[in-house]
Amino acid sequence: MQRRGLLVLSICLLGMFFFPLLAFAQDGTNPPASNIEELPERGPGWYFSLVKLLLFILAFFVWLPIVEWIHFDSKDRRTLDQTKWTLIPFGAGLVGMIATFLIPIFWIGYPLFLISVIVPLVMYVRPRNAEVDEHERVFTPDHWRFLVAHSLGKMGIKMSAEARDPTKEQLFEYRPTAGESKAENKAQVLKAQQQPGFKDSQVILSDFLSQGAQRMLVDLNSQGVSLQYEVDGVWERGNPLSDEKSRKPEETPVPVRTQQAMAIIKHLAFLKPKSRAKQIGSFVIAERTKKPTIQVSSQPVKNGERILISVLDVASEKANLVELGIAEKELERLKSVINVDGPPGIFILAAAPGNGLTTTINGTMRSIDRYTRSWFAVEDVQKGETKLENVEYRNYDSAKKETDLQAFQRAFKEYPDAYLVRDVNNADTLRLLLSGEVCGQEKQVIIGTKAKEPAEALLRPLTLKDSSGKPVAPKELAPYLLGVLYCRLVRRLCEECKEAVPADPVQVKQFGLPERIKEFYEPTGRDPKHPKKACPACSGRGYRGRIGMFELIVMDDALRKVYCETPRVENLRAAIKKSKQPNLQVAGIQLVGQGITSVEEVRRALKG
């Protein structure tokens, strides 16, 4: 902006001095000579007063940012015409600037210039503030307080003020990451800023993050737009654009604005707008204290498109199993199976859909020994999974029609001690894992799958088909099946507003909890300081964040017999119950006894 201002100022000064001399040269005459002896003393500025010139330059550099701010701010106002409101301050300021030099008396011309700068600004601010929400209004007492606090903050003086500058166009900064260079990423943002829907995209994402949601599902079709948030595993409907007050009947409808906002979000993730294939991309948004990564998945559906937006939880991705909620005793049981001296075979990590399978896999890998033996992971680069320390990766690219079998062939040549396979896609790969190259060489393999319960997770590999359409027989897999660690998430009680209630001694005994447990906790959703208001920490939900309930099933001879002879969910479920291994209910009750969650929440999660 300063460079542009200097350029405009230079052109103005050039016009006042160079062009008159050029006119004299074209006429073949000389400019009138000045009799220096007859001129009065004019000081160091000679023809100009340096003080007056500095005052003019100061006003000039106030005028130019005002024009620039009105130009960009009016673009996002549905009731204000951008062209009109750009020309008004620019034209008025230009006239005032010329008047400063044409009027002989400076103290008449200069105030006219100041008036031509200030009046259009006041004219614009009035309708502008009438359109926006209260926290976005400018030149209000809160805004002036913000400006003072911001200035004092630069000098090290702290002063409480409104959190955000309402003159800023962006609620946060977009930082694309998929471009081939920083310049390309920056150009992607600049292009997005010129498109309709840019500010609406920020309104939607800002509301999405402020709600503490993990995922947002947007359905765009011929019937309209549907937008849902997933907050701690519970889906809620809502669209922040629908909550705004309508200003005029002719304003852009909410469905159209939502579609425009989604187009901006896809653009920033470098997704192709006209592609009918499934696409995945991501970008970073920079807030005041956080820089979350936003993942965008676009899937064409009948008569429209489905967009899934997720915020990647870096903290949980780096957590171990204890931090995720597993009991210490269960972790020791797991380590007795998966270790350098453990039996060869396949161990399954499983979770219900949307219940943290990726986090469970990463947490398990961080909880077992990865330093006394070499681990190799075979993954599809299109999935963009978190990289783990002390794990070698042999990837394949499904977009290039590469297969996991090709990656395994490369890995075999390096003789790793153990394998991590997040997704086993076919029976050919499963048979390869059971062959003499892997399990037959005393190696362990960890695989992941989604299932509704541990029994289903154990049977999932049997549903895979090979290239000829044949599945792996139970008798082939059973000898090498080590067990399953199953996870289901429950919501944590909000620490700010949870309330203690007396525990029923009979219920405590039924739960198998120690007699010292005298109270349970329940959600209230109320602000402890202002009971009539919603708790600001959890937005009135009573819950904030999630924790895992884990069930570890270690295979024994009885379970393997059922697995081979009657491989059905109900039979395997009964055999697991008969083995008397701690189940999800036990894990949930322990969390209730610790005051981490509520009885009702455990019941809800188990029913799911």
Question: Using one digit for the tens of pLDDT, what is the confidence trace for 99-133?
Answer: 888 888 888 888 998 999 999 999 998 888 887 76
Residue pair 465/482 in contact (Cβ under 8 Å)? The answer is no
β-strand pairing of 418-421 with 444-450: parallel
Residue with more model confidence, 32 or 103: 103
Percent share of the chain, pLDDT over 70: 84
Q: Whole domain around residue 76: which residue ranges?
A: 2-32+42-145
Assess whether pLDDT exceeds 70 at residue 98. yes
Average pLDDT, rounded, for the chain: 83
User: Across the chain, how many H-helices and E-strands are there?
Assistant: 21, 16
Same domain for 396 and 270, yes or no, is: no
Residue pair 170/202 in contact (Cβ under 8 Å)? The answer is yes
Residue 390: which CATH number?
3.40.50.300
Same domain for 308 and 320, yes or no, is: no
Report the DSSP beta bridge partners of residue 421.
447
Q: Answer yes or no: is 197 within a domain.
A: yes
Average pLDDT value for residue range 346-366: 92
Residue linked to tokens 């009065």: 40
Residue-wise pLDDT for 422-469, tens only, equals: 988 889 889 988 887 787 778 899 999 999 999 999 999 999 998 888
Assess whether pLDDT exceeds 50 at residue 248. no
Calpha distance 337→179 (Å, rounded): 44
Same domain for 296 and 445, yes or no, is: no
Question: Would you place residue 565 in the very low, low, confident or very high pLDDT band (cuts 50, 70, 90)?
Answer: very high
Residue-wise pLDDT for 220-241, tens only, equals: 988 888 899 999 988 988 878 8
Sequence-distant (6+) residues with CB within 8 A of 450 are 350, 351, 352, 353, 357
Assess whether pLDDT exceeds 90 at residue 351. yes
Assess whether pLDDT exceeds 90 at residue 562. yes
Same domain for 292 and 319, yes or no, is: no
Q: Answer yes or no: is 497 within a domain.
A: no
Model confidence pTM above 0.75? no
Question: Would you place residue 509 in the very low, low, confident or very high pLDDT band (cuts 50, 70, 90)?
Answer: confident
Same domain for 108 and 207, yes or no, is: no
| Segment among 375-379, 494-498, 560-564 with least mean pLDDT | 375-379
Q: Answer yes or no: is 390 within a domain.
A: yes
Average pLDDT value for residue range 28-46: 52
Calpha distance 96→544 (Å, rounded): 58
Same domain for 320 and 368, yes or no, is: yes
For residue 579, which amino acid is it?
Answer: S
Question: Would you place residue 59 in the very low, low, confident or very high pLDDT band (cuts 50, 70, 90)?
Answer: confident
Question: Would you place residue 602 in the very low, low, confident or very high pLDDT band (cuts 50, 70, 90)?
Answer: very high
Residue 359 has, within 13 A of its CA and on its CB side, a CA count of 27
Could you write out the DSSP letters of every residue in 90-113? HHHHHHHHHHHHHSS-HHHHHHHH
For residue 3, which amino acid is it?
Answer: R
Same domain for 82 and 214, yes or no, is: no
Dihedral (Cα; 96, 97, 103, 105), 10-degree rounding: 100
Q: Answer yes or no: is 242 within a domain.
A: yes
Same domain for 178 and 302, yes or no, is: yes
Same domain for 77 and 212, yes or no, is: no
Question: Would you place residue 246 in the very low, low, confident or very high pLDDT band (cuts 50, 70, 90)?
Answer: very low
Closest CA to 511 of 601, 595, 587, 596: 587
Element (H, E) at 487: strand 481-493
Residue pair 304/220 in contact (Cβ under 8 Å)? The answer is yes
Average pLDDT value for residue range 207-226: 88
Residue pair 295/208 in contact (Cβ under 8 Å)? The answer is no
Q: Answer yes or no: is 392 within a domain.
A: yes
Tell me what pLDDT residue 205 has: 92
Assess whether pLDDT exceeds 90 at residue 40. no
Calpha distance 587→489 (Å, rounded): 11
Residue pair 429/472 in contact (Cβ under 8 Å)? The answer is no
Closest CA to 291 of 146, 150, 176: 176
Tell me what pLDDT residue 240 has: 80
Sequence-distant (6+) residues with CB within 8 A of 558 are 575, 578, 579
Residue pair 606/585 in contact (Cβ under 8 Å)? The answer is yes
Residue pair 447/360 in contact (Cβ under 8 Å)? The answer is no
Question: Would you place residue 253 in the very low, low, confident or very high pLDDT band (cuts 50, 70, 90)?
Answer: confident
Number of domains in the chain: 3
Calpha distance 274→267 (Å, rounded): 11
Same domain for 486 and 386, yes or no, is: yes
Q: What angle do CA 310, 315, 319 make, to 5 degrees?
A: 120
Dihedral sign (CA 267, 137, 112, 85): positive
Calpha distance 284→185 (Å, rounded): 11
Residue pair 314/294 in contact (Cβ under 8 Å)? The answer is no
Assess whether pLDDT exceeds 80 at residue 207. yes
Q: Answer yes or no: is 355 within a domain.
A: yes
Instruction: List strands edge to edge, sheet with 224-231.
Output: 173-176, 279-286, 293-301, 304-311, 215-221, 224-231, 234-237
Task: Quote the tokens at residue 70.
Answer: 């009105």
Closest CA to 381 of 361, 369, 358, 397: 397
Q: Answer yes or no: is 182 within a domain.
A: yes
Domain final residue pick, 266, 295, 312: 312
Tell me what pLDDT residue 199 has: 87
Tell me what pLDDT residue 346 has: 94
Residue 272: which CATH number?
3.30.450.90
Calpha distance 380→392 (Å, rounded): 14
Residue pair 454/485 in contact (Cβ under 8 Å)? The answer is no
Residue-wise pLDDT for 296-345, tens only, equals: 999 988 888 999 999 987 666 678 899 999 999 999 999 999 988 888 99
Q: Answer yes or no: is 246 within a domain.
A: yes
Tell me what pLDDT residue 19 has: 47
Assess whether pLDDT exceeds 80 at residue 7. no
Same domain for 185 and 251, yes or no, is: yes
Same domain for 53 and 196, yes or no, is: no
Residue-wise pLDDT for 385-430, tens only, equals: 778 888 888 888 887 888 888 888 788 777 888 989 998 888 988 9
From residue 30, alpha-carbon distances to 15, 24, 36, 214, 556 in Å are 18, 6, 17, 76, 110
Assess whether pLDDT exceeds 60 at residue 45. no
| Segment among 129-143, 280-294, 456-470, 497-511 with least mean pLDDT | 129-143
